Structure 1
Amino acid sequence: MATLTISSKYQVAIPKEIREALHLTPGQKVQVIAYEDRLELIPVQPLHRMKGFLEGIDTEVPREGDRV
């Protein structure tokens, strides 16, 4: 598990092994979510990289009668 330190300006540096594993690049946007007692950092992906990520998902789910 990697750790980081919050600077006096409340800045953090993401450890190299995490940056490489997630293919993060300088200037890339990251969403920050406070969830219970932790922070979650979620890399924002360009829309063109999201193409096809739901391929193969089961769309046959029970629906209420007024939903199409």
Structure 2
Amino acid sequence: MTIVTISSRYQVVIPRDVRERLGLKPGQKVQALPFKGRVELIPLEPIEAARGFVRGIDTTVPREGDRT
């Protein structure tokens, strides 16, 4: 377990081992969420990373008669 200190400006440094395990880069954005009495930092991925994630999805679905 790694312990960090909150600075007088409410800043924290993410330890190197955590940054490396998550692949965090300088300037990368993270979302900070309060959750059950703790703060969770969720790395945000650029929208380009989602490109092609539904490739190969089955698009054969029944359509209503007035939709084509």
Decide: shared fold, TM above 0.5.
Answer: yes
Consecutive unaligned residues of structure 1, counting only runs of 5 or more, are 57-68
What letter corresponds to residue 48 of structure 1 in structure 2?
E
Q: Larger radius of gyration, structure 1 or 2?
A: 2
2:36 alignment counterpart: 36
Structure 1 segments, 4+ long, off by >3 Å, are none
CA distance in 2 between counterparts of 1:55 and 1:24 reads 27
Q: TM-score with structure 1 length normalisation?
A: 0.70
1:62 alignment counterpart: none
1:14 alignment counterpart: 14
- Matched residues, number: 56
Consecutive unaligned residues of structure 2, counting only runs of 5 or more, are 57-68
